[in-house]
Amino acid sequence: MAIKEGLRPGGRSARVQESIHSAVRALLQEQDRATLTVPQIAARAGVTPSTIYRRWGDLPALLADVAIARMRPDSEPVNTGSLRGDLRAWAEQYLDEMSSEPGRNMMRDIQACATPGHCVGILSTQLQIILDRYPDAPNPGVERLINVVVAPTVFRILFATAPLAVEELYRLVDIALGQ
């Protein structure tokens, strides 16, 4: 079930959503995700389980929504003064955050999302901010950065025994920049 769009951005709906998201985050700090249930979340959030089922449909969809909300950055990417430096700093921070246990869990949760394009949208926005800072620099484009830097990073985090080494990540950035 898709997350309902068009709900008022404030008011009761926003308060209920924040209460439920907060309950999920708190419970995930306290217990293993495999033991998490909708009734537990509802009790912690002070709502009925039907409220959660009506809005999200099931637990995986709720966990995906919480993960997407957590992926939204709090600030713009670091400005190092160069396109290469900004991309390296962004990629290293992304690798660090996503290769952590909470990061890997977020990526797994997002796989259950009915609209997985949200992740690419969030990443694309961050990368476009960096590219826009340097209008005179050769621009590899967001799609190339996603394909050459992000995709191998995510693949290694999810499916390899170890994430990329930082030196390899930097090499991918250089490849994306045509260097």
Q: What is the CATH number of the domain that holds 168?
A: 1.10.357.10
pLDDT in tens, the chain (179 residues): 344 444 445 567 888 888 998 999 899 889 988 899 999 999 999 999 999 999 888 888 888 888 888 877 878 999 999 999 999 999 999 999 899 888 888 888 887 666 667 788 889 999 999 999 999 999 999 999 999 999 999 999 999 999 899 999 999 999 999 98
**Within a domain: 89:** yes
Q: In this structure, are 102 and 19 located in the same domain?
A: no
Q: Tell me which residue of 83, 76, 65 sits closest to 119, measured CA to CA.
A: 65
In this structure, are 46 and 92 located in the same domain?
A: no
pLDDT of residue 5: 43
Are 101 and 144 members of one domain? yes
Answer whether residue 19 is part of any domain: yes
Contact assessment for residue 51 and residue 16, using Cβ atoms and an 8 Å cutoff: yes
Asked if residue 113 belongs to a domain, the reply is: yes
- Split into its structural domains, the chain has a count of 2
Domain that holds residue 19: 12-56
pTM for the complete prediction? Answer: 0.75
Please check whether residue 92 lies inside any domain of the structure. yes
Residues 45 and 87 in one domain: no
Q: Same domain, yes or no, for 86 and 152?
A: yes
The SS3 call for residue 153 is: helix
Residue 6 lies in a domain: no
- Looking at residue 22, which CATH number applies to its domain? 1.10.10.60
Query: Residue 64 falls within a domain, yes or no?
Result: no
Owner of token pair 């709900």: 7
Same domain, 90 and 17: no
| 26 and 109 fall within a common domain | no
Task: Give yes or no: residues 48 and 86 share one domain.
Answer: no
Residues 6+ apart with CB under 8 A from 122: 68, 71, 72, 73
> Is the domain of 144 the same as that of 104?
yes
Residues 156 and 79 in one domain: yes
Residue 102 within a domain: yes
Q: How far apart are CA 86 and CA 121, in angstroms?
A: 19
